[in-house]
Amino acid sequence: MEQEDTIRNTIDKLFNAHTNNYIFVYTPPKVGSTTLVSSLRISLGKSYNVIHIHDEVMLSVLTGINNVKINDIISYLAKNGKKVHVIDVYRTPIERKISEFFEKISQHHFNNTEENINKYSIKRVSDRFNKLFPYLENGDHYLDRYDIAEPIGFDFNAKYTLQEYNNVNYIKLRLCDSESWNIILSTIFSQDIVLITDYKTDGKAISSLYNKFKQEYKLPLNYFEDIKSCKYFNFYYNEEERNKYLNLWRDKTSDNSVPYTKDEYNFYLNLCLENQHINDIQTDHYIDNGCFCVYCTNKRREIYFKAKNGEKIFEKIIHSEIINEVNQIKNKEIIEILKKNVNAKYTKNQFSIRIKNL
């Protein structure tokens, strides 16, 4: 009973409101999941609670609760009659490692501003990246964290996998198919899902170096061999796709590289954390942060129809800013009423009624 109380308390802290439908975008970082979250929130509105989570560390930061696992929350909701979807995304290993490295290149790896790091040579950045390569993320939540007894193989024709297990719908997508996500998700949720591209590294201050690095980086041959035998790569890409990907990188290889040893890497991590002076806490991370108030709901509906009409760039739905805008509009309307009251000579009672209605 005590554990159930803790889980219920965690759910209350995670979600803005209680509904019968829950979506956990439960993925590793840097796989395109932020775009997925914003797209689902904009498209599904109040009918679904959508949470973006990477691991129990992130869960603890969001809720302040330490002794609950994400799978426990998912299982609890499903057992209590809620409709639960859990979504994971696969991204090719080299691109994912590059994206993860650049996500923290300023505050963690070089402890300098993005503007200054943009001036670094590709060789300098490549040397650091290659030393860290084996330690950058490559795990998979669907295979490693979901506690599914027998995960089913990826459906290369449908371009997604949907597996029901213990009354939970587990969905596996691939970032390489992201242009079809709206069609795939519309099929799964039986609602028209629009795609809202959100939080891309090539739109940040470091984008100049990031794009140049992607064009010029040479993959050491020993890492190329490691990719060939990667179990996740072989699970989510068919033979034709693997050959195409490997041929692309085979033409962009270099001599072997010697990475940090495990002890050297641990020392590196501790040193980076000790030296870090740039804040890496991200606020207002999404275009849609999931507020269900009437004003954010109206803004969400506006963005949805803009996306349906082909627009690509949107303002963020930030509750405090939207409320400020609403208050400014109301203040202008009150001023106009005051002016009209002077000219039309409303009675005091008529004037009070108009202000109250507004």
The pLDDT tens digits of the residues spanning 128-138 come to 999 999 999 88
Burial bucket for residue 235 (CB in 10 Å: 0-12, 13-18, 19+): middle
167 Rama class: left (phi>0) / alpha (psi -120 to 50) / beta: left
Host H or E run for residue 21 = strand 21-26
Q: Quote the CA–CA distance of 141 and 68 in Å, as a whole number.
A: 17
By residue count, the chain amounts to 358
Q: Which of 105, 134, 54 is nearest to 278 (CA)?
A: 105
Buried b (16+ CB within 10 A) or exposed e, 258-296: ebbeeeeeeebeeeeeeeeeeeeeeeeebbbbbbeeeeb
pTM of this structure: 0.80
Residue 334: CB atoms within 10 Å: 13
All structural domains of the chain with their residue ranges: 2-308, 319-357
The region of weakest confidence among 8-12, 35-39, 351-355 is 351-355
pLDDT tens, residue by residue, 288-315: 566 656 766 666 666 655 665 666 655 6
pLDDT band at 2 (very low <50, low <70, confident <90, very high): confident
